[in-house]
Amino acid sequence: MGLGVLLGAPNIISIMDRTQSSLGQVKMDVCAFVGVAPKGPSRRHHIATGEQLDLQSIADNWFVRDRTVAIKVSSWEQFRRLYGGFESPGRLVYAVANFFEQGGQEAYICRIVHEYDDAVVNLDAVASCMIENLRAQGAGIGLNAKNEGIWGNQLSAAAGISLTPVEFLTDNSDASTISFASTQGLESGCLLRIVNDDITNPGSQFSEYRFINQFKRQGDSVSASEYWTLDFSTAPLPAVPKKIELVEGQLSIIDNATGISEEFANLALSPSHPRFLGRVLLTESNLVDPQRNWLLSELYPQDLSPFNQNAHTLNSATQLAINPSLFSGGEDRYQDISHADFFDSRWVLGDEHFGSGVHCVSNLSDCSLMVVPDLYGPEPFEKVLHNEPPEPLSGADFAPCIEQETATLEVETALPSLLKLRLDPQLPEDRDLIISLQQGLVSFAKQLKEFVVLLDVPPTLTPQQITQWRSKFNSEYCAAYHPWLKVNQYNPDGQIGSSPKIINPSAVAAGVIAASELQHGLTHGPANRLAKSVFSLQIKVSDKFHDQLHPLGINVFVQQRDGIWLSGARTVSQQRQWRQLSVVRLMVMLRRVLLQQMQWVVFEPNTPALWLDVKFKLQSFLKQLFIAGAFKGNSPEQAYFVRCDETLNSPQVVDSGRLVAHIGVAPAEPLEYLILQFSREADGSLKMVSK
């Protein structure tokens, strides 16, 4: 059947993959967070890894960019370096902070910025500066902050060069040809400074920059007379050179607000070189990008003094401290961000390109949870009654006086910079829009069947309104959490402030789920766990109302003597077999393992030998899960089955180019078998269907 690119795999897989070790579990603890941040990757060129960046293509498609980019971070500090801290007007920063606080280890961050109709306007809020001592076509070169925001105004940059002596064969060189005993690591695109500083013959003095186009090999390697030459016959040098130096660029950048700096050395100054300054900034810098107008240009140092080496070699660190180039022009445009920016109306299932908004996670192979903390802003939290009225304290008998608990919520100050995201759950039209936005997330999750989206029950709703809200959702790929939680507020410098911050319960739940898997495995239900660093609930949920919410599949955080605990781990599916979150995640993991690790079957002849091989590998994998306690039953026969035989693969099925296997598993809860149909389609792709 030949080789080909397989569904769900980024590269070509050979038939030899069939001989690899047995199937193994994949991690399911990675969460995608989509929200608003003061800085961070956005509006980026789509750059393929593993190959040299095509600068011509980038220049031709300068305004064709991925508006939303999913970047994986593995710590809170890494998030702060890339996306900023608590100065953000959104809740993303608090969501991510509490995810890691609960024990999460890896997260994708997707920064939301507004989509403008004019592509040029997309980059108008990006800070920039001019570097004068590197020149392109006689003018200085411009740098842009990596992404929009006032954060870029705190950047400064300095550039310099380094000069390294290059040995050449003086007796075999003249004004038209320079000879070298070896290339000394030089290659096409390197810049040479060629000098004649003979003070005895002032008429022959010169200093010129020449780029290497191509070395020519001369002589005979067998007789050890091999050497290399550079041909300057079309533009001879003014005289015979006395000294040759390799010229390389240096660039130093610092974010003066955070102290984060980047140093780039050994930079080439020609676009034809792999280490060209523009190419390096596009692929390696987290702070700046080159400007388009010099991306395809050869760069030259600003010539200060032709024969003084010290005038050419600039210490970039010293230069940065003494005479830096300062960035300006960066703007925050939070006020433009709207609900539509969280989605990509052009995205379709199976699209190989990265979408925008939440749809940018569609091609992530290891994302298992999604939280969208800034989907809407319910600020300010108005004063409302608790979900349950207090029990009457009057009676026929005398009793000690009990101080009545305050029946109102704390008011949180509105954030005017996110006004377009504000929705009041108390207003019917706003509540309907909130539901519509959340249904969009659930629909996306149901299409992919790769992750579970975690939703927040809108705050300030009455019990009846919560029940009505719950009736709008029915999916195993969605879990709901209530109520919102109080954590410590932080100042921009990272110090705890005086007022609490009310955050999304889904963010804390994501950390609890991730920590539960890392500690106990995927089959352990992520419930009855303490929420770290959460000191209070936004609104008290009575035991009576909690008992009503649990059967509805709403997972409630409850106040206990030792802190705040997450009491449930259910989905909002109305089908009994899909109500347990651990069961859904187990089936997602099983589907993911099969699609990622069974790709070799698309290259094999569809024979009974292949059926037997497929059955053996699947049974071996399921036995691992059985031993780990994932399935119900006292024996493997009671816990799972695998069928891949002539009954499923009739002559008609084989002739159509398909291979079909059925896998049945009985998760620890519920008791019923859940059937997956695993098939190889005629087009060579793998397909998984729940039955």
pLDDT at 600: 84
Categorize the per-residue pLDDT at 130 as very low, low, confident or very high, splitting at 50, 70 and 90: very high
User: 24-116+336-390+412-597 and 608-690: same fold?
Assistant: no
Does the domain at 24-116+336-390+412-597 match CATH 2.60.40.420? Answer given as no
pLDDT beyond 60 at 19:
no
pLDDT at 8: 28
Categorize the per-residue pLDDT at 406 as very low, low, confident or very high, splitting at 50, 70 and 90: very low
Handedness of CA 239, 243, 248, 251 (dihedral sign): negative
Categorize the per-residue pLDDT at 2 as very low, low, confident or very high, splitting at 50, 70 and 90: very low
Q: Is 154 exposed, middle or buried (0-12, 13-18, 19+ CB in 10 A)?
A: middle
pLDDT beyond 60 at 3:
no
Mean pLDDT of all residues belonging to the chain: 85
pLDDT at 225: 79
Say how many residues make up the chain. 691
Q: Cα 602–608–612 angle (5° rounding)?
A: 80
pLDDT at 496: 64
Listed range (426-440, 507-521, 668-682) with the worst mean pLDDT: 668-682
pLDDT tens digits for 246-286?
999 999 999 999 999 999 999 999 999 999 999 999 999 99
676 and 587 in contact (C-beta within 8 Å)? yes
pLDDT at 201: 86
Can you tell me the distance from the alpha carbon of 525 to that of 511, in angstroms, rounded to the nearest whole number? 13
Percentage of the chain surpassing pLDDT 70? 84
Categorize the per-residue pLDDT at 404 as very low, low, confident or very high, splitting at 50, 70 and 90: very low
Percentage of the chain surpassing pLDDT 90? 61
Round the CA-based radius of gyration of the chain to a whole number and report it. 32
User: What's the whole-number mean pLDDT along residues 348-371?
Assistant: 91
pLDDT beyond 80 at 567:
yes
User: What's the whole-number mean pLDDT along residues 203-227?
Assistant: 83
Domain ranges of the chain: 24-116+336-390+412-597, 128-326, 608-690
Architecture of the domain made up of 608-690? 2-Layer Sandwich (3.30)
User: What's the whole-number mean pLDDT along residues 345-359?
Assistant: 88
Closest CA to 289 of 65, 105, 515, 574: 65
Phi, psi of 317 (to 5 degrees): -65, -45
> What does the CA dihedral 501, 502, 507, 509 come to, rounded to 10 degrees?
120
pLDDT beyond 70 at 305:
no
476 and 488 in contact (C-beta within 8 Å)? no
Can you tell me the distance from the alpha carbon of 570 to that of 551, in angstroms, rounded to the nearest whole number? 9
Can you tell me the distance from the alpha carbon of 194 to that of 171, in angstroms, rounded to the nearest whole number? 16
Categorize the per-residue pLDDT at 18 as very low, low, confident or very high, splitting at 50, 70 and 90: very low
User: What's the whole-number mean pLDDT along residues 507-520?
Assistant: 94
Can you tell me the distance from the alpha carbon of 104 to that of 526, in angstroms, rounded to the nearest whole number? 13
pLDDT at 310: 46
Most confident region among 169-178, 272-281, 632-641, 644-653 by mean pLDDT: 272-281
pLDDT at 16: 32
Greater confidence (217 vs 393) lies with: 217
Can you tell me the distance from the alpha carbon of 493 to that of 62, in angstroms, rounded to the nearest whole number? 36
How does DSSP classify residue 535? -
User: What's the whole-number mean pLDDT along residues 140-157?
Assistant: 96
Spatial CB neighbours of 505, under 8 Å, sequence gap ≥ 6: 456, 457, 481, 482, 483, 484, 485, 557
Categorize the per-residue pLDDT at 535 as very low, low, confident or very high, splitting at 50, 70 and 90: very high
pLDDT at 525: 78
pLDDT beyond 50 at 575:
yes
Can you tell me the distance from the alpha carbon of 35 to that of 375, in angstroms, rounded to the nearest whole number? 7
Listed range (21-30, 354-363, 530-539) with the worst mean pLDDT: 21-30
pLDDT at 50: 65
Categorize the per-residue pLDDT at 668 as very low, low, confident or very high, splitting at 50, 70 and 90: confident
pLDDT at 629: 86
pLDDT beyond 50 at 485:
yes
Tracing tokens 């609490």 back to the chain, one arrives at 500
pLDDT beyond 60 at 583:
yes
User: What's the whole-number mean pLDDT along residues 398-426?
Assistant: 61
pLDDT tens digits for 320-341?
555 789 999 999 999 999 999 9
pLDDT beyond 70 at 123:
yes
pLDDT at 552: 94
pLDDT at 570: 94
pTM of the model: 0.85
User: What's the whole-number mean pLDDT along residues 306-327?
Assistant: 58
Q: Which two tokens stand for residue 684?
A: 């060579």
User: What's the whole-number mean pLDDT along residues 497-511?
Assistant: 89
Residue 119's SS3 state is coil
pLDDT beyond 80 at 605:
yes
Most confident region among 83-87, 386-390, 398-402 by mean pLDDT: 83-87
CA-to-CA separations, 156 to 124, 318, 333, 475, 509, in angstroms, rounded: 19, 13, 22, 50, 40
pLDDT tens digits for 39-61?
999 999 887 766 788 999 999 99
Categorize the per-residue pLDDT at 37 as very low, low, confident or very high, splitting at 50, 70 and 90: very high
pLDDT at 414: 44
160 forms bridges with which residues in the sheet?
A: 250
